[in-house]
Structure 1
Amino acid sequence: MRWIPLLVAWSLLLAPAGAQSVLCLGDSITAGAGSPPGTAAWPELLAQRLGPGAQVAVIAAGGASLSSVAARPLLETAAWKDFESTGFETAVVVLGTNDSVAAGEASPWEDLERFDADVERLLDAVRGRFAVDHILLCTPTPMLAQAPGLSPERRADLTARAPRIQTFGARYRALAKARPDVEFVDLGSVWGPDQVVDGVHPNAFGAAALADHLASILRIERDPEPAPIRGRLLEGPLGCSETDYHGFDRLEFGLPGDGAGCTLVLPRFVAAGRPWIWRARFFGHEPALDVALLERGFHLFYCDVAGLFGAPAAMARWDAAYSIVVDELGLGPQPVLHGLSRGGLPVLEFAIAHPHRVGAIVLDNAVCDFRSWPGGRNGQRSDADWLQLLEVWGLTDEDAMAAGNGALERLAPLVDAGISVHVLIGTADRVVPPEENGLALLERYRSAGGDATLWSKPGEGHHPHGLEPVAPLARALLRDVGIDRHNPATWPLPSVEYRSSAAGWGPDSSWSDQVERMAALAEANPQRDLVFLGDSITQGLTGAGDRLSHPNGPRAIDRFERAICLGLSGDRTEHLLYRIEHGALAKLAPRVIVLQIGVNNVNSAGHTGPEVAGGLQAVVESLARNQPQATVLICGPFPVGLDPDDPRRSALDAVHGRARVLAARDGVEYLDLRPLFLDEDGHTNGRMAADAIHVTAEGQVAWMDAIEPAIRRLLGP
């Protein structure tokens, strides 16, 4: 038996309702083959992400297969036979990669009935032996023939095998649908070509991506008694038909009365509270958000209101549809409303009329004032749509252009109800100009005290819709409706960074190696009373070779007599939270800690401004608990991006806003040093490197010049 311990200390504020115990079954991917030295396999990373007391055990063997006709069935390996523990809540099965290799007299993909029987045999064995509450049956992870550095022979092999694992995935899905104790999980796009070492086995970043995905599913509380929606619709009077929607079951029916087309897509499991997202228009277009929420227990609903432009006839139809979905089918009372383009009109009308029926709102290049589109006041004119709009609203051209639909003047009920609004904007949209629509709503909503978030897409027009990547928006919506309040920026984690040369650590090193070396350095130099804590920008003050300051030395940091640099390339707030308790800082008792963190959260992890602000606060609070004698001087994050309209700048604005609030606490000070690195128009100057992330030597000098008076004052004589 191999238990994977939880590697980090946790505060009670981060503790979930109950610790989870998970058994992971798989092959060499699960065992960690291909993982760079100093890094962990995905089950260990999963344990770190599941929270306090989480226990993850592994049954895995290189070459293991699911099928009995493949070379090495897992049930016949010593890993399975010698495993002794029981009492798991959940089993996660990631098998099938080796079943795609021809072996023996028959191949698994050539006898799918036998393959199905072998899958059932494994599921029954896991259920019977370990008494798990439920099993996640995962597709094989992707085979990526386009990964860099592969030989022609390897590319040809993976190209031939990839369709086989897709076939296995389809069989898993069908089998899981028939078993209430099994949930199907699609891992077909869990990592990309740069996250594998040989087209199959993940590097450290791929392992982290898999662990993140599974943790995001396992964290969500299930509905203990999900409504039998499929049966009610298929067996009921609505004439329902069933098809597929991106691997999920899609049910279609006509609305009683006028027969308007309705679509309900079922998740593979139902989250507690039975949440759902309601698409207003253009069902199926840019489905990334739909799929992300379906994977996390949301239903997806659509009721056709084409040609009605949010008019009373559309609202009557939606009222009837809402009654069916909530009162008859049993879904939760407050869906997320998703208005794309002209879909903004019915979303706003419905939300204003029924704020108690709304969990959150997403407006994607949305029409908020129909005078803009299709009226063409400053947007694109559409004569046919305008005439149809006038008819369904019962307006004359003059009245419509004079008053509009008035939604922007009627937002108070949404603000009073505390509804979060997410506004996606293509800044170059000339069809539905943001100034008359999304940005106008954003300004008015915030002015009235409402919670509105801008998701800016610089330089993009009305198309494409959606957000890439969609994960930050999905996380925000999960928090809005109370399904998953997890903030990745506040969750203490070791980094998986292993690219030692690129990180400035020299050859054959890893993040964990650097943490150990810094701890040893701190233990040998406990008198250091000034700590620089941060990421690669901070590491750049000294490099990784000599992290101590030296009087009269040539570096900008050397002006400080007893400084030590604890910056690490790639670090984010969650990594600092880990290092504060498990790294060099625990060996020291500094008087001043200079904190510069957050750029990597935004730039590489895609964390939102509010998430990073929460991460900064968590770091400051951890420092207050663990280093109460120290004053924390927050002086970052510095600007990112060449231009002032870079959306990463807006995200960092939220971080600096939180820093100002934190500076009101005892033992915390804040300096906004961003002007040092920008010209009068907001563009980066010569103190920023060409990547518009790091600072130059001149920038380091300016940084030290700016903070020196505060440091001298805090350190005293």
Structure 2
Amino acid sequence: MGTTFRCLLPILSLALASRTVAADSVGAPPFAGVKSDFYSFDRYDFTYDGRAAIVVRPKVIAEGKPWIWRARFFGHEPQTDLALLDQGYHLVYIDVAGLYGAPKAVAIWDHFYAYLTGTHGFAPRAVLEGMSRGGLIIYNWAAQNPDKVCCIYGDAPVCDIKSWPGGKGASAGDAGSWAECLKAYGMTEEQALTAKCNPIDHLEPLARAGIPLLHVVGDADEVVPVAENTAILEKRYKSLGGSIQVIHKPGVGHHPHSLQDPAPIVDFVLASARRWLAERGTGDLLRERIEWCDIWITNADRSDLPRVLLIGDSITRGYFGEVEKALEGKANCARLTTSRCICDPVFFDELLMILRQYRFAVIHFNNGLHGMGYTQDQYRRGFAKLMDALREHGQGAGLIWTATTPVRKRGALSELDESTETVRQRNRIAAEFVAAAGLPTDNLFDLGISHPEYYSDDGVHYNAQGRAAQARQVAQSIEVRLK
């Protein structure tokens, strides 16, 4: 009987240990005011610049002190805020209610930003979160401070005061709030109808700075109609070359806000943060919350059949078992599946550990879904290093590149997620190297593009039908190289 040897490297899930610090060990002064509990996190209420302010501190602070700035309705539908607190983000709020994003509100935010970054060492780029009328201040402040913004998450956001509270379109508006808004801006109604003071009016600085946007909207919203707000902003931002993703909730009105499962919002924020780290050059080594590596060698004690190595991530691990069955009696299969991107030198430690122990007849390899925060130039350098490593240490193995699979929208599998464009770019980079080396490609990207029904609900991984289809294609590509 053959034996199976499994080496599972330590999972780096030590609460972001390499990139975090305990909350009570930070050298910044403590926050003043009243301390209370916010879903088990420490909450501080105090007055700043004459306005009510709140800071909620994570139990473990992520390196660099990232933070999310809630613009309005603090504590309402807090699931995204709580998830980011768990990730080591601070949650902050300062009350600018009744100012509707007017210049006075922007000035208050300027002062609060300086206080948080100067006195308490918060990250230079904030994640901005605006629900409903909160959309006005996040966009108006961001337009004047694009270099201080990581990304923007708007939830049913007001993008034009004429729509709400003005009620000059499909929305009924709010007469009392409209009067308050005009007073905050110091305008008459006639002036407000032509004023360029809205989020939809000054998107160019954000597009030029490459600020990613995410909106979550209810398609049946009659208070802040999508057509008068997000749809206009989306069209204009895209025309400026900006990146915006809109998550639509069919049949949902202005409420409830957010998503029951905030994972798509949280993923957007974390990906945006990683991108800024990579682009400023101080985040060359990006870490996920859990890093993992799974090395599996079947029949490690036998050499009666050629040995095949599959390199990839959780997608590869998903179809590996069926590939192994398809090649039974033809090859002994092994896998190196990992969360490491080829931009991370640790990936090559993992790769060389297995290549130095075993000789493979065929190596079927992929790397592209992890490390989305790395730039395309970094990925290109990583791929060049991967090709060199396989040539130098692969001991003459036949190489097959498999294209990285597309990502679909969670809960809307017929649509591609925005990250698929990054996948396409990475596949193009890989194709250049592969073509130059004369290597075959196993195109699992096209398989995924053609079959949305193969996906599981998360839009990343595959269901049983999809894994079976992938395994058939992979096994066939390997058999050709074994002959």
Query: Is TM (by shorter chain) over 0.5?
Result: yes
Q: Which residue of 2 aligns with 1:425?
A: 216
CA distance in structure 2 between the aligned counterparts of 1:424 and 1:585, rounded to whole angstroms: 49
Quickly say closer, same or farther: Cα 1:662–1:677, change in 2 above 3 A: closer
Partner deviation per Cα, 1:219-257 (whole Å, 9 max, x = no partner): 226798622233xx3xxxxxx33322223332223344x
AA aligned opposite 1:228:
P
Q: Which residue of 1 aligns with 2:317?
A: 535
CA distance in structure 2 between the aligned counterparts of 1:321 and 1:229, rounded to whole angstroms: 16
Quickly say closer, same or farther: Cα 1:537–1:386, change in 2 above 3 A: farther
Q: Which residue of 2 aligns with 1:241?
A: 34
Which of 355, 365, 372 pairs up with 2:146? 355
CA distance in structure 2 between the aligned counterparts of 1:310 and 1:655, rounded to whole angstroms: 37
Alignment of 1:475-514 (within 5 A): 475-476=270-271, 478-479=273-274, 482=277, 486-488=286-288, 491=291, 493-494=293-294
Quickly say closer, same or farther: Cα 1:532–1:247, change in 2 above 3 A: closer
Q: Which residue of 2 aligns with 1:516?
A: 297
Partner deviation per Cα, 1:411-446 (whole Å, 9 max, x = no partner): 33334445x334142463635455654465455445
Q: Which residue of 2 aligns with 1:254?
A: 47
Q: Which residue of 2 aligns with 1:314?
A: 105
Partner deviation per Cα, 1:670-690 (whole Å, 9 max, x = no partner): 5655555677xx754xxx499
* Secondary structure at 1:587 match in 2: coil
Q: Which has the higher contact order (CA 8 A, sep 6+)?
A: 2
- Distance apart, 1:465 and its partner CA: 1.1
Q: Which residue of 1 aligns with 2:132?
A: 341
CA distance in structure 1 between the aligned counterparts of 2:422 and 2:218, rounded to whole angstroms: 20
TM-score, structure 2 normalization:
0.70
Q: Please tell me whether residue 660 in structure 1 is matched to residue 428 in structure 2.
A: yes
CA distance in structure 1 between the aligned counterparts of 2:385 and 2:290, rounded to whole angstroms: 10
CA distance in structure 2 between the aligned counterparts of 1:381 and 1:369, rounded to whole angstroms: 14
- Distance apart, 1:456 and its partner CA: 3.3
Q: Please tell me whether residue 627 in structure 1 is matched to residue 390 in structure 2.
A: yes
| Conserved? CA contact 1:276–1:331, under 8 Å | yes
Alignment of 1:286-435 (within 5 A): 286-295=77-86, 298-326=89-117, 331=122, 333-375=124-166, 380-384=171-175, 385-397=177-189, 399-402=191-194, 405-418=197-210, 420-426=211-217, 428=219, 430-431=221-222, 432-434=224-226
Partner deviation per Cα, 1:348-403 (whole Å, 9 max, x = no partner): 11111233443443333323333444445776432333443334334455554455
CA distance in structure 1 between the aligned counterparts of 2:167 and 2:430, rounded to whole angstroms: 46
TM-score, structure 1 normalization:
0.50
Quickly say closer, same or farther: Cα 1:651–1:620, change in 2 above 3 A: same
Q: Which residue of 2 aligns with 1:472?
A: 267
* Secondary structure at 2:54 match in 1: strand
Alignment of 1:197-236 (within 5 A): 212=13, 214-220=14-20, 226-230=27-31, 233=32
| Conserved? CA contact 1:263–1:301, under 8 Å | yes
| Conserved? CA contact 1:369–1:406, under 8 Å | yes
Quickly say closer, same or farther: Cα 1:345–1:638, change in 2 above 3 A: closer
Q: Which residue of 2 aligns with 1:113?
A: none
| Conserved? CA contact 2:405–2:448, under 8 Å | no
Partner deviation per Cα, 1:109-153 (whole Å, 9 max, x = no partner): xxxxxxxxxxxxxxxxxxxxxxxxxxxxxxxxxxxxxxxxxxxxx
CA distance in structure 1 between the aligned counterparts of 2:468 and 2:127, rounded to whole angstroms: 49
- Distance apart, 1:625 and its partner CA: 4.2
CA distance in structure 2 between the aligned counterparts of 1:218 and 1:330, rounded to whole angstroms: 19
- Distance apart, 1:548 and its partner CA: 4.8
- Distance apart, 1:346 and its partner CA: 0.3
AA aligned opposite 2:41:
F
Which of 56, 68, 71 pairs up with 1:280? 71
- Distance apart, 1:341 and its partner CA: 2.5
Residues paired across the two proteins, number? 447
Alignment of 1:545-560 (within 5 A): 546-549=327-330
| Conserved? CA contact 2:182–2:192, under 8 Å | yes
Which of 585, 588, 599 pairs up with 2:359? 588
Of structures 1 and 2, the larger Rg is shown by 1
AA aligned opposite 2:103:
P
AA aligned opposite 2:427:
A
Alignment of 1:110-129 (within 5 A): none
CA distance in structure 2 between the aligned counterparts of 1:589 and 1:38, rounded to whole angstroms: 17
* Secondary structure at 1:657 match in 2: helix
- Distance apart, 1:345 and its partner CA: 0.8
